[in-house]
Every structure is written in C-alpha cells, then in structure tokens.
Chain A
Amino acid sequence: MNAPAETVRGGVAGWFEERLRISGLLAALLHVRIPVSAQTYYLGGISLFLFGVQLISGTLLALYYKPTADAAYESVKYITSVVDFGWLIRSVHHWGATLMIASVGLHMGRIFVQAAYKYPRELTWMFGVLLFAVTILFGFTGYLLPWDQKAYWATTVGTEIAGGVPLIGDALLNLLRGGADVSDATLNRFFGMHVLVLPLLLAGLVVVHLTIVHQLGLASPRHPEPRPVRRGGPAQPVDEPLKPFFPHYILDELIAWFVVLAALVVLASVLPAGLEDEADPLITPQHVKPEWYFLSVYQLLKIVPRTIGIVAPMIAVAILLLLPFLDRNPAVAKRRRPLALSAAVLAVIGLVALTVWGAQS
C-alpha cells in the first residue's frame, strides 16, 4: 500500500518547512495540557514577557552606560537627560524590574494557593524558586549601577548583610565587593553579574522550567495528579475539560502582555526613575533605605539581633525551595489544606507588615 502523499505547502512557509522540517516540533511545542479550572492569571507568561522587556531595555542602556566609578553616574545622567528617549528606556527598565519581581512573587503565590507544586511538579516549583532568587539578585546587582548615593549605601548595607552569613560571611563579602569596601571593583563585578552571569543563568533556568511545564501541563486545582498504579502503566490524567493552548491561551496571554506593557509605559512616564547625588563614600545620607522588595529584611534587621536577621531570610528561602517535600499533604483543594494555607497567610501578613513598617520607619 502506498504511503499517503505528504501535504505540500507553498509560499515562504513551505520553502522553510522543506528545509527545516520544523512543523512537527512547533505543533508539539504549541500543545500544553491546560485544564479549564487552572486559573493562571497569566502571571508566568507576564514574568517571561517582563524578562524580555528587561533584556531589550538593558541591552540598550548598556550601549551608553560606563561601568566605572568615575564615569557611571555621569553616563546615567547622560542617558537620562541627553539621549533621545533615554529617560523612557531607563524608566521602563526600572519599572520593569519592579513589576517582574512582583509578577514572579504573585506567580509563586498562585502556584501555592492552587497546590501546583505537589506531585509531579516538585522540580517545576524548585526551578521556579531559583528563578525568583535570580530575579532578586538582578534587582540587587542592578541597584548599584547608577552609582548615586542611594545605590552606593543600599549596596554597602546589602553586602554587609551578606557578610554576616555565618561561617562564610567574610569570604562572601570580599567576593561580592571585590575588596573590603564598595568601590570601583564592586561596580565592575555587579555590572558583569548583572549583564552576563545572571541573564545567562536566568535564561537557562527559564528553559528548564518551561520544558517541565510543557511536559507536565498545568496542574488542576481540583484534583491531585494520580500516581501510577503498581506494575501498571503511567497514570491516566483526570478526565476534565481542557483549554487549547494555541490559539486560545496564547491569545489571552498576549492581551495580558498588552495590559502590562501599557502599565509599564504609564508608570515610566508618570513616575520616571530618579537619580540622587553622586555616590560619596564619606557621607552616608539620612534614612537610606533599600528598594521595596528588600524592606522586610531591612526592617527585620532593625528589630532582631543581626545574626537572626540574616539567617531568618535564608531559612525562609530554604523552606520555599523544599516546600514540595515539607508539605506531605496530597490534597489540592483549599479546604483540605488548612495548615499550609494558614501558615502562608501568616507569612504573607508578616512580610507585608515588615515591608510597610520598614517603609514608614
């Protein structure tokens, strides 16, 4: 019997298809299992979109930015006040960072509430926590680059906190700063990490994270994922209505990206990124405070002994990372997870309270 004739597509698509044979791969990539009940609020995709925005705006800024203590401040001033649209690109980068941290945090919250970190998605969650950590490191390293007073002293305090880590603190401090103090060497290191190390790391982690998401599909917030029965084949997914990933979900996601882009442009235009006086290692300004996402740690350090204030956030991150193994309850329905949800609500209240307290103190 003859094999059925291949469908030949014409035009540009057909020309490429004949040479790349990529339609099968694309079809597989565009198929992700999405239960209708899984409300994602598009937060993962929004985080990815914002990473793209940061990549583009950051690359543009790097064309004018000079990463030396003598020239950094002036180059940022030049970008902001001389280069066409420089203020916009810089403000988009500034607000993109804030929105990215917020969207990654909210994405993790959504995953937690819908218990999507449970079997078989433990690794997806752990790579997600690593992505969150790298996003925070992006904020930390990028903060120094304008080399103004706020940047300099926030980094001085931030690296001092790293220096307080038991056992390895001194070595870590020296490694981060490239010397005893925040200096030209620190700026070089932070710039290198911010524009080379972290983007590559984040891109790699995103690829792994998305590959797992693609392979497993989205979790149902109604039914736990069935485990394979002994001596049987793979478990059959619970039969529930699915939503097509393409074009339905992708189109919804695109609309969400449009909304975020609009918010980004409005924020950048209404509240553009500022620049304080140039960094002066001899004068610490009054009431120096970090960015909002570090305010809780900042406040914690004010009210508890130094070691506790440094170790507590590390324990919190470790708990987050190991959450799928610490929470042994297989249930996914909210009413069957009172302990986990209560603990999370208390943690969030504590975090928000410390942040607000830190902002107002």
Chain B
Amino acid sequence: MEPPTIGSMEPQPAPDAAARSSGREAPPSPPRRRFLRFLVGFSAASTLGMIIAPIVGFLIPPRTQGSGGGRVVAGTLEDIPANTGKVVAMGSAPVIVVNTEAGVKAYSAVCTHLGCIVGFDTTVRHIVCPCHDGHFNPASGAVLSGPPPAPLPPIAVALEDDEIVLVPSGG
C-alpha cells in the first residue's frame, strides 16, 4: 500500500483499517499526523525565531568606538603638584593621575571592587575609593586596605615638556 499523500483531498482509509485489510498491525502513530505535528512545531519555532532574533539583535547595544583613541593631555605639572592627584577623562574612561615621589603615575579610576570612581586623599596620600573605603598605593596601584580584590590597572603616562600626556594602550 502506498503511504497516504500529505494534503490529498481524497479520503484516505484509516491506518488501522488499512492495516487490518492488509493483515498487518496498525502503526503506533500515523505518519501524516506525525508529519503535521512536526510541521506545526517547526512553523511555531521558526515564527518565534523570526520575531525574537531581530529583537535580541536590537537590544544588544552597538559597539561604541572609544572617543579616547588618541593621546590625552591630562594637565601640567603645575596642575598636579607633588603628592596630589586628579581624575581626568580619557575618552569615556576616567583616569586618575597622581604625582608621587616615584614620579607621575596614572591608573584607571574605576575601583576594582564595585566600580566607584576613586580619588586622591591628600591627608593619607593614598588613592581612596569613597564607596567602601578601599585604599590603593599611589606609586603602584596596589591594594593597601579594604575590599578591592585587585590593583588599579595602570595607564601609560609620559611627560612632554611640562605636559602630562596619557597614552592609551596600543596608541
């Protein structure tokens, strides 16, 4: 017996009746029903995919190119005298520039604990996070006390005449 044609308008004998007439046992699930179930599931899944894919794509924000692609002048040595510090913007990233006994240093100003912006405390001469009182060594960026789990990432800095220039990595 030929299998029933999908979508045929001709009435097909019921599979069990057909099986009985040919002396065979009825199949557990008629192929047409299984195929239709697959078709419905496939249609539903592909429709959902068609709707969800653009929505997810839309929700993912486009990659923004950092505006700090070039070198940034953080100020002069007069702006940041010895044992002081200043937070400046390098593109969209805050950077703390400190003038220490070991020279002018710069670090990412984003605290490695929970993302607050650190500042320079002239009293204790530490880089301090105001949120949870994390202290960093201004000469190395290392954690001195408090909850920060890692040192502040260093930023390359150069002195050109009197100007303090921040050099982005790779720049």
Contacts and interface: CB of A to CB of B under 8 A. Distances in A.
A319 B47 CA distance: 42
A60 B59 CA distance: 8
Interface residues of A, number: 13
A258 B62 contact: no
A85 B62 contact: no
A84 B57 contact: yes
B7 to A, nearest CB: 16
B37 to A, nearest CB: 15
B60 interface: yes
Interface in B106-157: none
Most chain B CB within a 10 A radius of its CB, from A60, A82, A84, A265:
A84
A60 B55 CA distance: 8
Nearest to B43: A258
A261 B47 CA distance: 10
A89 interface: yes
Contacts of A88: 54
Interface of A: 56, 60, 63, 82-86, 88-89, 258, 261, 265
B56 to A, nearest CB: 9
A349 to B, nearest CB: 39
23 contacts: A56-B55, A60-B55, A60-B58, A60-B59, A63-B59, A82-B62, A83-B58, A83-B61, A83-B62, A84-B54, A84-B57, A84-B60, A84-B62, A85-B55, A85-B57, A85-B58, A86-B58, A89-B54, A89-B55, A89-B58, A258-B47, A261-B47, A265-B50
Ranked 9 nearest A-B pairs via Cβ: A85-B54, A84-B57, A85-B57, A85-B58, A82-B62, A89-B58, A88-B54, A60-B58, A83-B62
A263 B60 CA distance: 26
A254 to B, nearest CB: 10
Contacts of A86: 58
Contacts, number: 26
Given A85-B55, A85-B57, 17 more contacts: A60-B55, A60-B58, A60-B59, A63-B59, A82-B62, A84-B54, A84-B57, A84-B58, A84-B62, A85-B54, A85-B58, A86-B58, A88-B54, A89-B54, A89-B55, A258-B47, A261-B47
A85 B61 CA distance: 11
Interface of B: 47, 50, 54-55, 57-62
B48 to A, nearest CB: 12
B59 to A, nearest CB: 7
A187 B58 CA distance: 24
Contacts of A89: 54-55, 58
Contacts of B47: 258, 261
A162 B25 CA distance: 77
A51 to B, nearest CB: 16
A236 B47 CA distance: 43
A88 B60 CA distance: 15
Nearest to A79: B58
Contacts of A265: 50
A82 B61 CA distance: 9
Nearest to A56: B55
A84 B57 CA distance: 6
Contacts of B61: 83
A150 B52 CA distance: 32
Contacts of A258: 47
